[in-house]
Amino acid sequence: MKIKAIYTLLIFFYAVAGLRADDIKPAPAPQKTPSKTRQILIIPVEGEVGPAMAAFIERAVREGEKYPDALFIFKMDTFGGRVDSAFQIVDTLLTIPVGKATAYVEKRAISAGALIALSCSELVMKHTTTIGDCAPIMVSNEGPKMLGEKFQSPIRAKFRTLAKRNGYPEVLAEAMVSSDTAIYKIEMTDGTTVYMNSTDYEDLTEAEKKKVRVKKTVKDKEKLLTMDDDEALSFGFSKMSVDSVKEMLEKKGIRDYRLITFEESWSEQLVRAVTALAPVLMILGFAGLYIEMQTPGLGLAGITGIVCLALVFFGQYLAGLANYTELLIVVIGILLLGVEMFVLPGFGIAGFAAIALLAVGMILSLQDFVLPSPEVPWEAELLKNNVITVLESLLGSVVFIFIFFRYIFPKLSGVVKGPYLTKTLAQSHVDSDTYIPVSAGDKGVVIKPLRPAGTVKIGAGMYDVISDGEFIDKGESVVVAEIQANRIMVSRSSADEQ
């Protein structure tokens, strides 16, 4: 049964290698509409920015390109999220021709959401909405902490590039990322208006300063730029403030149109759910596989472990994070797990190597790179977080295993009839009158692992014994608890006794 289960799992991972989120849900064929009718493609950008959102937007843009002369409208309502996913979304949006992508801030576009919004050719905001505040932060035990220049520099450069592309004030775009300088609005005597940071203003010559008619502080030092719709309009970011998409289209002069709204497929919803539950799934997965290795037959623990780890890998694969490298590592880990189960007795090098490879495979499946690049500083931070996540899952699985064997497993015999107790008790010769030269309190060493029956060396003799419900490995010390007829009951020795 276990061989069949491992074989089935390998087939499952092999099949997954041919799937992606867009393969599961085929793109709808463009409908024939009158030549003057324009397709308006509504793509929601809602919730946390992460791999699921990146996969969804990539699919929606790819499908939307099949519609001629379509206008993409990205409805923004997000507080941000992962930097790597935000950059992936930006790269996707930059493939849309200039003038055909509009970011419509329906509620808010904060942090990574601001980066995504500014990557569109045009920005439109609903009344009383906000945009900005894109400083990279790290959440620690002390709370959110802003990361330094090493992390800010590449993000600031991306904002500067997008500002040049779309005609936004560069210094204001950078002010959403860095808070080290104040920003001024400078009105010159010749009627021109420029935005300048405090450092550049101090570098002006006296003659240039005399040409300044009005200097107004837009952002104080140690603060990040966050704008409402009126401020974004006056600063030159937003094209207009409206109450709805319909009003925006009317102001743009688009009256003959057809709205097409994209929604997440079930596979993309699965990716979002798996990403949130990945630590819990890995705890159950690792614990289930270990429990299965220590119990006879293929039971619920093994099936649960296989399904949980497969869900994590499958979800990350659909998001485009896991790939063939991670698949190969996971498959090797599964093969070593099979060797540990059927070839080598006990839990040894092959078992530890299998768990280690599965852990490495899980770590790599949570990211789209193998080793972090020095040019992308947040990759090292992401790798560290992923390692901590997997290690915490392994630690959680150890706690779960202890609770299972200490409190749950001993009670299973009263609920589920299993061959591991029935067969052992039937062969124990309860009515035998054979004298056993062993008494309660005698100590011994396990020769054959107790599962829960096994063999123990007590003094110079070898005896078949039964533990009190615990699984005890070879080489551990035990103590005779009681003698029932010719049945020897033992328990694990305490640490002091050992």
Mean pLDDT of the chain: 80
Q: Are β-strands 477-484 and 443-448 bridged in parallel, bridged antiparallel, or unpaired?
A: antiparallel
Structure tokens at 312: 């994590």
Q: Which residue has the tokens 């296989």?
A: 306
User: What is the reported pLDDT for 39?
Assistant: 93
Q: Are β-strands 193-197 and 226-228 bridged in parallel, bridged antiparallel, or unpaired?
A: unpaired
3-state secondary structure of 299: coil
Nearest of 148, 91, 86, 150 to residue 112 by alpha carbon:
86
CA-angle at 294, arms to 299 and 448, nearest 5°:
135
User: What is the reported pLDDT for 495?
Assistant: 53
Residue of 268 and 425 predicted with greater confidence: 268
Nearest of 307, 316, 309 to residue 268 by alpha carbon:
316
Mean pLDDT of 60-84: 91
Highest mean pLDDT among 101-110, 279-288, 404-413, 484-493: 101-110
Mean pLDDT of 181-190: 88
Highest mean pLDDT among 83-97, 279-293, 474-488: 83-97
User: What is the reported pLDDT for 428?
Assistant: 47
3-state secondary structure of 31: coil
3-state secondary structure of 463: strand
Mean pLDDT of 177-198: 88
DSSP H or E segment with residue 6: helix 2-16
Q: Look at residue 484 and tell me whether its pLDDT is greater than 50.
A: yes
Enumerate domains of the chain plus CATH numbers.
26-176+224-261 (3.90.226.10), 180-223 (no CATH), 270-412 (no CATH), 419-492 (2.40.50.140)
User: What is the reported pLDDT for 113?
Assistant: 93
User: What is the reported pLDDT for 271?
Assistant: 76
User: What is the reported pLDDT for 237?
Assistant: 94
Nearest of 59, 479, 5 to residue 271 by alpha carbon:
59
Mean pLDDT of 239-246: 94
Structure tokens at 11: 């087939």
Output helix, strand, coil percentages for the chain, rounded to the nearest 5: 45, 20, 35
User: What is the reported pLDDT for 34?
Assistant: 47
Q: Which residue has the tokens 């099936």?
A: 303
Q: Look at residue 458 and tell me whether its pLDDT is greater than 80.
A: yes
Q: Look at residue 316 and tell me whether its pLDDT is greater than 60.
A: yes
User: What is the reported pLDDT for 107?
Assistant: 93
CB 258 within 8 A of CB 40: yes
333-351 pLDDT, tens digit each? 878 877 776 666 555 677 7
The model's confidence at residue 295, banded by pLDDT at 50, 70 and 90, is low
- CA dihedral sign, ordered 76, 79, 83, 84: negative
Q: What percent of the chain has pLDDT over 70?
A: 80
Q: What percent of the chain has pLDDT over 90?
A: 24
126-149 pLDDT, tens digit each? 999 999 988 777 665 555 667 777
User: What is the reported pLDDT for 71?
Assistant: 94
| Radius of gyration over every alpha carbon of the chain, rounded to an integer in angstroms | 32
Q: Look at residue 298 and tell me whether its pLDDT is greater than 70.
A: no
395-451 pLDDT, tens digit each? 888 888 788 777 776 666 555 555 544 444 444 444 444 567 788 888 889 888 887
CB 375 within 8 A of CB 360: no
